[in-house]
């Protein structure tokens, strides 16, 4: 065996000898290939339902997404969580079979039916939309459309389903409170947006206020074809699909005119600049820095904003990844994300670290956010982060689920679906000066806010030194619905500083 291995090695080395010299330096890339054009068909049924078809023959997979005229921004102030609850209850009771046959499928049967088609029904609540989506093998597309149509056309919204869905959300909230990661993310939203519609979080109190009549009212006002869009991506023949679309969705009627549009939102932050929540015994500290970002109306600014976000916190090589993880070894990963809403938007930078490093991570992340407004990004870094953003977008559009989600986001934001293919040009137009101007406008030091959830005793005094006026709240006393974030009003910093705002 030894002889054979040695001989094989010698042969390989001899054959490769001229190549060995060449192989020592990095070869250059070839010429880029133009990305495949996006093939889209867009039309509306007579009842106003918008249909987007993106056929991509070859791999026998289809993703269907039905976007509804919902969204958590529409939740009434005292009933945060209504949209999420509604979407959950929607798949817990539906009339199936011939109209008038009276046969009702319950949640278990609906799930079993979808899963027998190979598809899992996913419902998602976002600020500007509520959606139902499924990915399935191509031969099951027509049956899946029939199921989806029944869900929105003939839901029974049963009271038992409401109770079940409510219990589930309450259990999830309890889990959230024990995990520094999920708790910090909820707190970040609450702190930054405060009393605006975007800052309302579902709480036990808000969920317990929701009655079945509230679901029925939401159904009457928002569940209408003219407020909805159906997106189908993948392996199907558009012409052959049209009759099924007409058959399943053509008869859908709804009170289209009464639909409400999401409100414009502006941050109405809580009084504190920093909130530190003590979770004794937690395994790590979760650190989040919040900052303003462009809203949807700022169309001209958004390319610069997206690129600034990519430089800051997308990928290992972003500023946050380099400074927090690679250089300092402080975290498994540091990243940021942005969301644009009607009226305004926000940036959230996030990392988990050992408690002793929480203050250091908070300090480094805040500095990196501000530095983008103070110093121009080098051309090489800008080109790299631009390529990175565009490449990720390209790969996302290559999957049926990614394409359906991206098309859905375009529609939610009121943008043309075809514009998805134009991000390359838009980002090419952003230079370092435009990026810096964007960051200088939005990411000034005084605009940043800070959340840390962890074992504060282990974190030590450095955290308090970052902001001596920080609210310090034991997790056991936390109430996300309150403007003071405290369950019981008691003497202390939180209660005193929070008194200016009405209770949530």
Partner 1 sequence: MAPLPVPALQPRTRRLANGLQLLSLPMAETATVAVQLFYRVGGKDDPPGRSGFAHLFEHLMFKGTRHMAAEQFDRLTEDVGGSNNAFTAEDMTVYHSQVPAHHLEPLLWAEAERMAHLQVDQAGLDSERAVVKEEFRQRVLADPYGRLFHAIPVYGYQQPGYRRPVIGNIEELDAATLADVQAFHADYYRPDNALLVVAGAFEPAQLDAWVDRYFGPIPAPARPVPRRPVQEPQRSRDELHRLAVPGLPQPAVLALWQGPRADAQEVPALQLAQAVLAQGEASRLNEALVHGPRLAQSCGFELMLNAEAGLLAAHAISSGRLRPEALLERLSREVQRLAEEPLPAAQLERARALLLTQALVEREGPEGRALAVGQAQLLRGEAQAAARDLERLQDVSGEAVQRALRRHVLQGARVGLLYLDAGSGAR
Contact with partner 1 (CB under 8 A) among 99, 102, 281, 461 = 281
Q: Which of 47, 49, 79, 69 is nearest to 259 (CA)?
A: 69
- Establish if 100 lies at the interface with partner 1 (CB under 8 A): no
What separation, in Å, do the N-terminal and C-terminal C-alpha atoms of the chain show? 77
- Establish if 436 lies at the interface with partner 1 (CB under 8 A): no
- Establish if 399 lies at the interface with partner 1 (CB under 8 A): yes
Q: Which of residues 337-366 bind partner 1 (CB under 8 A)?
A: 352-354
SS3 at position 53: strand
Question: Residue 131 is inside which H or E element, if any?
Answer: strand 130-137
Contact with partner 1 (CB under 8 A) among 77, 97, 243, 329 = 329
Find the part of the chain contacting partner 1 (CB under 8 A) among 81-89, 220-228, 283-291, 494-502.
Answer: 283-291
Q: Which is nearer to partner 1, 136 or 452 (CB)?
A: 136
Structure-token pair, residue 99 = 């109209």
- Establish if 502 lies at the interface with partner 1 (CB under 8 A): no
Structure-token pair, residue 317 = 């090589």
Q: How many CB atoms lie within 10 A of CB 34?
A: 5
Q: How far is the CB of 182 from partner 1 (least distance, A)?
A: 9
Contact with partner 1 (CB under 8 A) among 151, 282, 347, 435 = 282
Alpha helices for 315-428 (secondary structure H): 319-320, 358-374, 379-398, 400-412, 423-428
Task: Fill in the DSSP letter of residue 35.
Answer: P
Q: How far is the CB of 3 from partner 1 (least distance, A)?
A: 9
Contact with partner 1 (CB under 8 A) among 308, 401, 439, 480 = 401
- Establish if 19 lies at the interface with partner 1 (CB under 8 A): yes
For the chain, percent helix, then strand, then coil, each to nearest 5? 50, 15, 35
Contact with partner 1 (CB under 8 A) among 177, 266, 337, 413 = 177
- Establish if 425 lies at the interface with partner 1 (CB under 8 A): no
* 69, 259 Cβ separation under 8 angstroms: yes
Find the part of the chain contacting partner 1 (CB under 8 A) among 95-103, 256-264, 395-403, 462-470.
Answer: 395-403
Distance between CA atoms of residues 189 and 184, nearest Å = 9
- Establish if 175 lies at the interface with partner 1 (CB under 8 A): yes
Distance between CA atoms of residues 251 and 45, nearest Å = 10
Q: How far is the CB of 123 from partner 1 (least distance, A)?
A: 11
* 377, 317 Cβ separation under 8 angstroms: no
Q: How far is the CB of 91 from partner 1 (least distance, A)?
A: 9
Q: How far is the CB of 466 from partner 1 (least distance, A)?
A: 20
Contact with partner 1 (CB under 8 A) among 33, 98, 253, 491 = 33
- Establish if 37 lies at the interface with partner 1 (CB under 8 A): no
SS3 at position 62: strand
* 61, 400 Cβ separation under 8 angstroms: yes
- Establish if 60 lies at the interface with partner 1 (CB under 8 A): yes
Q: Which of 261, 207, 239, 178 is nearest to 86 (CA)?
A: 207
Contact with partner 1 (CB under 8 A) among 115, 246, 300, 374 = 115
Q: Which of residues 126-155 bind partner 1 (CB under 8 A)?
A: 135-140, 143
- Establish if 418 lies at the interface with partner 1 (CB under 8 A): no
Q: How many CB atoms lie within 10 A of CB 323?
A: 18
- Establish if 457 lies at the interface with partner 1 (CB under 8 A): no
- Establish if 261 lies at the interface with partner 1 (CB under 8 A): no
């Amino acid at each position: 065996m030894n002889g054979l291995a040695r001989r094989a090695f010698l042969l390989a080395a001899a054959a490769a000898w001229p190549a060995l010299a060449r192989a020592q330096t990095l070869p250059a890339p070839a010429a880029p290939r133009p990305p495949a054009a996006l093939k889209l068909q867009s039309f509306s049924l007579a009842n106003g339902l918008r249909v987007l078809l993106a056929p991509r023959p070859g791999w026998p997979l289809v993703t269907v997404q039905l976007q509804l005229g919902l969204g958590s921004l529409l939740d009434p102030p005292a009933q945060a969580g209504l949209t999420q609850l509604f979407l959950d209850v929607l798949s817990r009771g539906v009339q199936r079979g011939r109209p008038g046959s009276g046969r009702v499928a319950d949640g278990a049967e609906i799930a079993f039916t979808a899963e027998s088609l190979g598809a899992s029904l996913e419902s998602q609540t976002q600020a500007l939309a509520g959606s139902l989506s499924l990915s399935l093998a191509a031969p099951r597309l027509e049956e899946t459309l029939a199921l989806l149509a029944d869900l929105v056309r003939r839901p029974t919204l049963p009271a038992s389903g409401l109770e079940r869905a409510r219990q589930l959300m309450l259990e999830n909230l309890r889990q959230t409170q024990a995990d520094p990661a999920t708790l910090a993310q909820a707190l970040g939203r609450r702190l930054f947006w405060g009393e605006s519609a975007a800052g309302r979080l579902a709480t036990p109190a808000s969920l317990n206020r929701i009655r079945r009549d509230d679901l029925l009212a939401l159904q009457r006002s928002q569940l209408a074809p003219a407020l909805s869009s159906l997106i189908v991506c993948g392996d199907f023949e558009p012409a052959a699909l049209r009759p099924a679309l007409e058959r399943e969705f053509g008869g859908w009627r709804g009170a289209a005119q009464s639909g409400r549009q999401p409100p414009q939102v502006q941050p109405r932050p809580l009084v504190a600049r920093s909130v530190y929540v003590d979770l004794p015994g937690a395994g790590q500290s979760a650190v989040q820095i919040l900052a303003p970002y462009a809203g949807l109306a700022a169309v001209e600014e958004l390319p610069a904003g997206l690129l600034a976000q990519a430089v800051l916190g997308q990928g290992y090589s972003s500023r946050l990844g380099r400074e927090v993880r690679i250089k300092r070894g402080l975290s498994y990963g540091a990243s940021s994300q942005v969301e644009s809403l009607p009226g305004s938007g926000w940036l959230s930078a996030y990392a988990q670290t050992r408690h002793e490093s929480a203050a250091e991570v908070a300090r480094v992340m805040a500095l990196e956010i501000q530095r983008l407004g103070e110093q121009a990004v080098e051309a090489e870094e800008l080109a790299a982060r631009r390529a990175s953003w565009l490449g990720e977008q390209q790969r996302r559009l290559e999957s049926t689920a990614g394409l359906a989600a991206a098309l859905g986001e375009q529609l939610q934001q009121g943008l043309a679906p075809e514009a998805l293919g134009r991000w390359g040009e838009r980002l090419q137009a952003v230079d370092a000066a435009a990026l810096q101007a964007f960051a200088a406008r939005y990411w000034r030091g005084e605009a940043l806010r800070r959340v840390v959830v962890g074992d504060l005793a282990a974190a030590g005094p450095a955290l308090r030194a970052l902001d001596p006026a920080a609210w310090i709240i034991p997790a056991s006393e936390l109430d996300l619905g309150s403007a003071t974030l405290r369950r019981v009003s008691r003497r202390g910093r939180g209660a005193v500083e929070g008194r200016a705002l009405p209770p949530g």
